[in-house]
Chains A and B, each alone.
Chain A
Amino acid sequence: MAGVSVRNVVKRYGSVQVIHGVDVEIADGEFVILVGPSGCGKSTLLRMIAGLEAISDGEIAIGGKVVNDVAPKDRDIAMVFQNYALYPHKNVADNMGFSLKIKGRPRAEIDAKVRKAAEILDLTKLLDRFPRQLSGGQRQRVAMGRAIVRDPQVFLFDEPLSNLDAKLRVAMRVEIKELHQRLGTTIVYVTHDQIEAMTMADKIVVMRDGHVEQVGAPLDLYDNPGNVFVAGFIGSPAMNFIKGRIDARDGGQIFVSDAGAVLPVSGVNAESGRPVVYGIRPEHIDLDGDGLPATVSVLEPTGSETQIFARIGEDPIDAVVKARLKVRPGEEIRLRIDPSRVHIFDRQSSARL
């Protein structure tokens, strides 16, 4: 096992720079998830850690050793690819044992390690099958098995669950997390799915346009997003954002939206009149007879909760409540916003105030 240090790493393709001086410290045994929208550079960063992409500037160290010029095969890493990348002409056992065969390990040792990994992943009955005879979830497990057999210092996962259906994805999420708890190996995992990031990671690195926006524990990012982007990216459904300004009223502070809605705030570190963005998560809004009047646009009941798309004045707002509502679109409900859960961001810099 080993930690990974990414120090001021830059990636350029010709004159186009796609990674702009990224710094990430990954501790030994940590499960770190790189998350961000498509094109943010997360996969490129992972491929640079793997050695599949050259580094234009900066340095990457694995286990304290700088590996900028070390070939992928000598980095002691294992990688699970988005599309599995199983060798179609080899059966499951040969796929899993390929790295050991390349190393010239004896047949008995390969068999023993493959069997052990197969037991961990419940693949024992499938060892003689070929990839084309497996389901998506089984193929994904074989890809993980191939990584486990190597017993590497670091596991790299490149969007491993994005080709699976929703139900299987949830099951595999649990499996990967269990695997990490069992093996304790450092994992660097790339995904664009913030739910995967929230549920699995010890630490999340949120990326956008080749920059790191924020690094932190999942709940830390959820509770204290550093800017509008992170606030909007982490959490599902996404946070509501309303543009407006801070105002003083009755000796306290309030928020007045550009469309004129008045919303509560508490303990905001911003002077009156300052243009800001008001952020509140849907789950921090509740139904309350004394709350703000809102007009219902659409209701989405899921059984366990109801998502309400409504308008406070002209401003659209999204709320998630436990109650089952019997209102129709166009009718009025009353919503209460918990002021202690409100996030205020500077409109210009988008940083949290």
Chain B
Amino acid sequence: MRADRPYLTVLLWTLLSLLTLFPIYWLFVISVKPAVELFTTPSVLLDTVYWNNYVKVLNDSTLRRYMYNSIVISSGNALLVTTLAFMACYALSRFDLAGKENIFFWTITNRMAPAAVFLLPFFLLFTQVFVIGDWKLYDTKIGMILLYCTFNLPFAIWTLRPTIDAIPKELDEAATVDGASTWQVIREVIFPLARPGLAVTLILTWVFAWNEFLLAATLTSFNARTITTGLSEYVTTTGTEWGTMASIAIITLVPALIVFSVVQRQIVAGLTFGAVKE
């Protein structure tokens, strides 16, 4: 950034901001226009504001259920994955496990094939194998949370490992000599210092589950259907309800924005400065 030409900097950032924000603005414009206007010559200006799309969507109990499912599945998945990854990374970082680097690499192998490859096996598992009496894993929120775990956990382990590795081992040892048990070391020393890494992992895994479409569309029908798959229900044989879809898309941004704003405060770099002599 050049201090002698501030207007250039401002211009550059304005352009970049517009590039990012314009699609969202356009989406919003579409969401507040009646269908008839969208099929004539749609204007990008916010000349009319028609809230009926939102009223329709918010009054739709099915959509409310999809939204609730998405929040439960994404949040449940993110919390479970981050907790498990934290434990796994601590073990991989601190204990002398036989072949731990091989285990570490092996965890990522299920991300090496496209998710569609696993679609049929998962469908069979969910409908034929994981069945107890009348209950089956298909179309359940717990089913989707566990399913996303299998995809997110390796990714989370790979994301979080450098954070745990970067926490000096001497801190564990100092706490151990100070009388802490392994759990106390994790709770009192490792967890507070790993918070930025944990926050990143939490956000990324939450977003993955929030946005996921393919598996949710195949392995849910109604009870556990998520908002992304619900969105596709507005593409029908008789036409696409652009206004409704746009308003749902805007509404789906809200929880994501809330999660981001809450978690991003934890992402503070340089927290470990001063722990040990560099």
Which A residues form the contact surface with B (CB < 8 A)?
A: 50-52, 71-73, 77-79, 81-89, 98-99, 102-103, 130-134, 136, 139, 146, 150, 163
Contacts and interface: CB of A to CB of B under 8 A. Distances in A.
A257 B202 CA distance: 74
A85 B171 contact: yes
A133 B273 CA distance: 9
B273 A136 contact: no
Interface in B237-266: none
A3 to B, nearest CB: 19
Contacts of B171: 85, 87
Nearest to A102: B179
B239 to A, nearest CB: 57
Contacts of B178: 73, 78, 98-99, 102, 146, 150
A139 B273 CA distance: 12
Interface of B: 168, 170-171, 173-181, 184, 188-189, 192-193, 271-277
A89 B187 CA distance: 12
A85 B176 contact: no
B180 A73 contact: yes
Contacts of A132: 273-274
Nearest to A136: B277
A77 B177 contact: yes
Given A73-B181, A99-B179, A85 B273 contact: no
A52 B177 contact: yes
Contact of A52 (B176, B189, B272): B176
Given A88-B272, A136-B277, A81 B192 contact: no
A146 B177 CA distance: 11
The 6 closest A-B pairs by CB, nearest first: A132-B274, A83-B276, A131-B274, A85-B170, A99-B178, A85-B174
Nearest to B169: A85
Given A79-B174, A81-B174, 6 more contacts: A72-B176, A73-B180, A85-B276, A89-B192, A102-B178, A134-B274
A84 B173 CA distance: 11
Contacts of A78: 177-178
Contacts of A77: 177
A73 B271 CA distance: 27
Given A52-B173, A73-B179, A102-B179, A88 B193 contact: yes
Nearest to B270: A132
Nearest to B192: A89
29 contacts: A50-B173, A51-B177, A52-B177, A73-B178, A73-B179, A73-B181, A77-B177, A81-B170, A81-B173, A81-B174, A83-B168, A84-B275, A84-B276, A85-B168, A85-B170, A85-B275, A85-B276, A86-B275, A86-B276, A87-B171, A87-B175, A87-B189, A89-B271, A102-B178, A103-B179, A130-B274, A132-B273, A134-B274, A136-B277
Q: Interface centre among A50, A85, A150, by most B CB within 10 Å?
A: A85
